[in-house]
Amino acid sequence: MTEQSRKHLPDQTLDSPQKPLKIARTEEEDQQSEQNMSQNPRLQRYLVAIEYIGTRFSGSQQQPNCRTAVGVLEEAFRKFIGQSVSVFCSSRTDAGVHALSNVCHVDVERISKRKPGEVLPPHEPAVVKRAVNHFLQKNEGDIMVIDVRSVPSNFHARYNARERTYFYRMLSGPEPLSTFEKDRAWHVPEELDVLAMQEACKILVGYHDFSSFRAAGCQANSPIRTLDEIRVNEVATSFFSAPMEMEHNNIICEEIDTCLRRPGTDLTSPNGDRIKNSKVGLNQEFSIRKRHRCYVVTARARSFLYHQVRLLVGVLKCVGTGELTASDDAFIMKH
């Protein structure tokens, strides 16, 4: 399951199936905190793009007694500049949601460590990126700064965002997911009718009342949203070890073919396992994992309601498995 967000700069997030923690911070609190931060003319505002694996984060926003992406990033900045900062993200991701590029902004005042109280010229963006990543990698290593730019003090990563794009990955097939796909995709054991899903997307795209596609904790004043794009595509799976695995299995199969010509002979595989020569045939597919069919749902809009994307994907999945039809989709939209 993947979610990606694109803002004024690219912002992308990836979603996993874990239940998210509810985020209670209001927009009014954000704006008040932002106003207080921008009143100091000695502060340099930086736009920071971060990527992270969300599995061990309780979401992006600061929460008491929880490990969050913003909390870890703020701590890295504190170690770098020697004072606390506040980070404002363009997208609030839930627990377990991954980010390819979630854009944030932060105000930094560079104070001399040799002469306390002396304000120095701002750090270059490249210095900020290198220093913050140094401290992030000393943490769990599951979050990294991928870009930093200096921006005017009135630029806001969230409110100046132009659009957001989310990617949601579904792997279809009866076999269990690979270890490498755990928490990075939604496993759907059934076959999916991608053509039916694409027809349903045509109903969802556009300007609508999405009341049926927001969670109970949604704080948006209006359920009206314009969904600029929603589509389903089948793509190649991203199991990165496939070439290495194929080479490894070819070595085993070559030895097996040789051994089968000599009845009663055992052989040892490259990993030390004993393989007994018997009358049971072994072919070139020995130990190779059966692949799933991978589908990616792409949703793009200026803004989304709370849990809107995952609810849209849930409906599309039901259309793909035959539990719902495109006409049911239209009925849900109206009710």
Residue in 11, 15, 94, 329 annotated catalytic:
94
Handedness of CA 287, 233, 160, 150 (dihedral sign): positive
Whether 296 is covered by a domain: the verdict is yes
Tell whether 53 and 140 lie within a shared domain.
yes
Q: Look at residue 18 in the predicted model and tell me its pLDDT.
A: 44
Tell whether 197 and 256 lie within a shared domain.
no
CA neighbor of 309 nearest in space, from 190, 182, 197, 164? 164
CA neighbor of 232 nearest in space, from 202, 187, 209, 211? 202
Whether 253 is covered by a domain: the verdict is yes
What are the φ/ψ torsions at residue 176 (nearest 5 degrees)?
A: -60, 155
- Count of domains forming the chain: 3
Residue identified by tokens 């290593």 is 141
Whether 34 is covered by a domain: the verdict is yes
Cβ atoms of 141 and 71 within 8 Å: the answer is no
Q: Look at residue 244 in the predicted model and tell me its pLDDT.
A: 44
Domain that holds residue 271: 242-276
Concatenate the DSSP letters of all residues of 243-305 into one string. Answer: HHHHHHHHHHHHHHHHHHTSTT-EEE-TTS-EEE--SS---TTTTPPPPPEEEEEEEEES---
Whether 114 is covered by a domain: the verdict is yes
Cβ atoms of 134 and 126 within 8 Å: the answer is no
Alpha-carbon distances of 138 from 92, 98, 131, 272, rounded to whole Å: 24, 20, 11, 36
CATH number of the domain encompassing residue 57: 3.30.70.580
Q: Look at residue 7 in the predicted model and tell me its pLDDT.
A: 45
Tell whether 84 and 170 lie within a shared domain.
no
Tokens found for residue 171: 């792997």
Handedness of CA 255, 257, 258, 259 (dihedral sign): positive
What are the φ/ψ torsions at residue 17 (nearest 5 degrees)?
A: -75, 5
The residue among 118, 151, 184 that closes a domain is 151
Whether 133 is covered by a domain: the verdict is yes
Tell whether 228 and 249 lie within a shared domain.
no
Q: Look at residue 207 in the predicted model and tell me its pLDDT.
A: 93
Whether 6 is covered by a domain: the verdict is no
State the burial class of residue 164 (Cβ atoms within 10 Å of its Cβ: 0-12, 13-18, 19+). buried
The residue among 151, 181, 214 that closes a domain is 151
Tell whether 202 and 322 lie within a shared domain.
yes
Tell whether 229 and 247 lie within a shared domain.
no
Alpha-carbon distances of 265 from 54, 262, 277, rounded to whole Å: 50, 6, 6
Tell whether 38 and 84 lie within a shared domain.
yes
Whether 131 is covered by a domain: the verdict is yes
Tell whether 184 and 253 lie within a shared domain.
no
Q: Look at residue 312 in the predicted model and tell me its pLDDT.
A: 95
Is 94 one of the catalytic residues? Answer: yes
Q: How far apart are CA 78 and CA 48, in angstroms?
A: 15
Tell whether 123 and 23 lie within a shared domain.
yes
Q: What DSSP state is assigned to residue 22?
A: P
Whether 3 is covered by a domain: the verdict is no
Helix axes 125-136, 69-81, angle to 10 degrees: 110
Tell whether 171 and 316 lie within a shared domain.
yes
Q: Look at residue 328 in the predicted model and tell me its pLDDT.
A: 81
User: Rg for the chain (alpha carbons), in Å?
Assistant: 25
pLDDT digit of tens for each residue in the chain (335 aa)? 444 444 444 334 444 444 444 444 555 555 555 554 455 668 999 999 999 999 999 989 888 899 999 999 999 999 999 999 999 999 888 888 999 999 999 999 998 888 888 888 999 999 999 999 999 999 889 999 999 999 999 999 999 989 999 999 999 999 999 888 889 999 999 999 999 999 999 999 999 999 999 988 888 889 999 999 999 999 987 554 444 444 444 444 455 455 445 555 554 545 555 545 444 455 556 667 778 899 999 999 999 998 999 999 999 999 999 999 888 877 787 66
Q: What DSSP state is assigned to residue 322?
A: T
Tell whether 270 and 304 lie within a shared domain.
no
Q: Look at residue 272 in the predicted model and tell me its pLDDT.
A: 55
Cβ atoms of 170 and 191 within 8 Å: the answer is no
**Greatest extent of the chain over all pairs of C-alpha atoms, in Å:** 84
Tell whether 254 and 180 lie within a shared domain.
no
